Structure 1
Amino acid sequence: MAEEPGGAGQGADGLAQAWNALVATARRTVADGLVVGTSGNVSVRIRDTVLVTPSGVPYDELTPDDLVAVGLDGEQSAGTLTPTSELPMHLAVYRATPARAVVHTHAVHATAVSTLVPELPLIHYMAAALGGPVRVAPYATYGTERLAENVLDALKGRTGCLLQNHGTLTYGDTLAAAYDRTAQLEWLCRVWLTASAHPHHTPKLLTRDQVREVEEKLRGYGQQG
């Protein structure tokens, strides 16, 4: 069976491999300070199956036997643990975008920025890695369809967004790509907050044209072939 964009095939071995990668990514969000306790969640799509972190279980306690899987309709197809309360948001992203992995965090700097502006100012050209200026999805109660709708609006033309008074969401072709965008977004927010904190200076910002130019360059970035 050919490997799926999410990182594994859909057979039992492929799902187990994807689950292990998902758990490793979830643990990384804690180790890197992007979430505290069991906040935040991670998912990966293998064809029409979505593996997702369970609700309220510390990531360091998850084992291969704790695999949680749902269909795109939200019906649980594997596992006995309850899926994350943010399942509606994850499924909405998979239905509306080419995402194969989603990472949601409560990162400190990103959450702080989400309370201050409707869009992250263009403080650095790496905004291009997220598709351009990062929008803030208006606040809605966690786990609701309204929040999922707000996130989809904020994600139009983007691979990441901020959630007002809540955190971040990013997606990618793989867990590694989704996680990298999460880390980049938190770093961008930290840079803007740091620059904005100076009492006698206003940060210089980039123009949208400057960021679009970087988007073009990033399409050919790295090892090609």
Structure 2
Amino acid sequence: MLLEQERRDVCLTARAIAHHPGSAPGEAGTISVRSGDLVVVTPHGVPLEQLQPLDCPVMSLDDRMLEGRRDPAAETTLHLAVHRRAAEHGRDGLAVVNAFTADTVAVSAVLAELPPIHHRAAGLGGAISVTPYTPYGTGELADQAVKALKGREAALLAHHGGLALGEGLGQALEHLWLLDWLCAAYLRAHQIGEPRVLGEDELAEARRRGSYGWAGPDPFL
């Protein structure tokens, strides 16, 4: 079986999304991970918590299905577009996760951009773009997602939910949960008033601080 471990990892990630509070029931998102020129994706028509490794199609970067007992999910077009762009920039082992959580859908249905109101947003690149609405599974949505991800580890797909990248599925899932949390924090803050947005200098300082331990840079170096 091609990419057996990657297919198992996709299934474990799928279950994590399915069991996350706020996730949509059934097919609550799409997951993929690339190894070399091959990409494992989630299939069409299977609830995430029921996914089995043999269900997961293995795709080539040029859209050919090489193995799998089910057809690929509709959003495979988007995932392969992101993987192709990453391959062009020499980014190996990329994982892509998109999920329909209540908070990411809510924010994506209202805002044109999720502003950074917490320093952890710096880890995703700062402000998160929201793509214009287009039907799922289309090349147009794939193109919009690739644009929105430029310089970012996450994006919001209007009326669809969140999209996150990572060096492996573990990091991609961590970035997705961070995006979901940032959406929830924004929604809660907006109930009180207009949230104050962190500026680029403040985000740059957060990134700088993130590279050190609790005491800052070593004064003896």
Q: TM (normalized to structure 2)?
A: 0.89
| Pair 1:22 & 2:10 matched | yes
- Please tell me the residue identity of whatever aligns with 2:147: D
Amino acid at match of 1:185: L
| Identical aligned residues as a percent | 38
**Alignment partner, residue 34 of structure 2:** 45
Deviations 1:63-119 (A, max 9, x none): 233231010011000012000100110001111123610001111111111122111
For structure 1, the 5+ residue unaligned runs are 1-11
How far did 1:221 drift?
Answer: 6.7
Asked if the contact 2:155–2:162 (Cα under 8 Å) also holds between the matched residues in 1, the reply is yes
Partners of 2:54 and 2:69 within 8 A in 1? no
Distance 1:185 1:27 in 2: 18
Task: Kindly indicate whether residue 127 of structure 2 is the aligned counterpart of residue 133 of structure 1.
Answer: yes
- The answer (yes or no) to whether the contact 2:96–2:169 under 8 Å persists in 1 is yes
**Per-residue CA distance 1:117-159 (angstroms, 9 max, x = gap):** 1111221111111111111111111000000011111111001
The residue type paired with residue 63 of structure 1 is Q
What SS does the aligned partner of 1:171 have? strand
1:202 and 2:194 are equivalent in the alignment:
yes
1:80 corresponds to which letter in structure 2?
R
Paired residues in the alignment total 208
State the alpha-carbon separation in 2 of the partners of residues 151 and 64 from structure 1. Answer: 27
Select which of 133, 136, 142 maps to 2:136. 142
Distance 1:221 1:82 in 2: 47
Map of 1:112 onto structure 2: 106
Given the alignment of the two structures, is residue 216 of structure 1 paired with residue 204 of structure 2, yes or no? no
Contact 1:29 1:35 in 2 (8 A): no
What is the rounded CA distance, in whole Å, between the counterparts of 1:221 and 1:100 in structure 2? 27
Structure 2 CA distance for aligned equivalents of residues 173 and 221 of structure 1:
22
Q: Which residue of 2 aligns with 1:186?
A: 180
- Give the equivalent residue in structure 1 for 2:217: none
Q: Distance in 2 between matches of 1:126 and 1:62?
A: 32
What is the correspondence of 1:44-83 to structure 2 with a 5 Å cutoff? 44-83=33-72
Please say which of residues 37-46 and 182-191 is displaced more in the overlay.
37-46
Amino acid at match of 1:206: L
- CA–CA separation in structure 1 for the residues paired with 2:64 and 2:212: 40
User: What residue ranges of structure 2 are gaps of 5+ in the alignment?
Assistant: 215-221
Indicate the residue corresponding to 1:154 in structure 2.
148
| Contact 2:18 2:49 survives alignment (8 Å) | no
Question: Larger deviation: 165-174 or 211-220?
Answer: 211-220
Distance in 2 between residues matched to 1:131 and 1:207, nearest whole Å: 12
Question: Secondary structure in 2 aligned to 1:147?
Answer: helix
Which moved further from structure 2: 90-99 or 154-163?
90-99
Q: Which moved more, 1:81-90 or 1:121-130?
A: 121-130
Secondary structure of residue in 2 paired with 1:210: helix
Moved over 4 A (4+): 219-222
The answer to whether the Cα contact below 8 Å between 2:14 and 2:51 also exists between their aligned partners in 1 is: no
> For 1:22-70, what per-residue CA distance to the aligned partner results, in whole angstroms no more than 9, with x for missing partners?
1000110010133321131101101111001100102232223323101
Q: Which amino acid is 1:194 matched to?
A: R
- Asked if 1:102 is matched to 2:125, the reply is no
